Amino acid sequence: MDEVVISKAIVESFTKDFIKALSVDVAIAGAGPSGLICAYYLAKKGIKVAVFERHLRVGGGMPGGGMMFNRIVVQQEAISILKEFQVNAAKYKNHLYVADALETISTICSKTIKQGVKIFNLINVEDIMVRNQRIVGLVLNWSVVSSSKLHVDPLGVKAKVVVDATGHESEVCRIVERKMGPKLRTKTGTVIGEKSMWAEAGEKQIIGNTKEVYPG
């Protein structure tokens, strides 16, 4: 095997996919379970989707389960999603099921990619692209550039819709708040942030607050 040929194969293959991802229907920041499932269902409807994840691996906090016990608990209402992804889940009690966190996230990731979604890891969203008070894309850089605080110009990706799936950090929303002012569609116009643990209330609020918070 020729090492240069191997290198060319890697560079050419990645570059080909990345160039195609520079203009998409939907750009998603964050390849945790919510970002991946969002991407899967969009792609299933023929929508062109790219996902950008700053970490080396996908999955967000799911692989760690609860306090490093790699299990997740799923409510009855969401079991149909696990069944569609063919993830095994065992009935526990009170309409709750238990699934292996690693099986869940690896299966979701695999099926999302097979649906045609392009996932780019080790890429950080450092800004948004704006035209006429509307978000029209993301500004990207390698994660190591951001963490090392190197002065390297980023690249831009155009998207009709941008999804913030960065979880607790709400990174894209915080960028909007910092750059555009308190204009988010929340009670304060800003990222309200997380509260102390109350699982049932939190689940309901996530559903109620999953919406457009700024045009684009």
In the chain (216 residues long), the average pLDDT of successive 10-residue segments reads: 97 98 99 98 99 98 97 96 98 96 99 99 98 97 96 98 96 96 92 90 87 93
d(Cα 72, Cα 196) in Å, to the nearest integer?
20
In CATH, 3-209 is 3.30.1180.10: no
Nearest Cα to 104, choosing from 168, 211, 32? 32
Q: What is the pLDDT of residue 202?
A: 86
Task: Write b or e for each residue in 163-197: b if 16 or more Cβ atoms lie within 10 A of its Cβ, otherwise e.
Answer: bbbbeeebbbbbbbbeeeeeebeeeeebbeeeeee
**Predicted pLDDT at 203:** 85
pLDDT of residue 200: 86
The pLDDT of residue 109: 99
Listed in sequence order, the DSSP H helices in 73-186 are 79-84, 101-114, 143-148, 171-180
* Residue 208 pLDDT: 85
pLDDT score for 88: 98
Strand partners, 128: 138
Residue 69 to residue 39: CA distance in whole angstroms: 27
Q: What is the pLDDT of residue 194?
A: 86
Residues with Cβ within 8 Å of residue 161, at least 6 apart in sequence: 25, 26, 27, 216
> Domain extents for the chain?
3-209
The reported pLDDT for the residue numbered 164 is 98
CA 36 to chain centre: 6
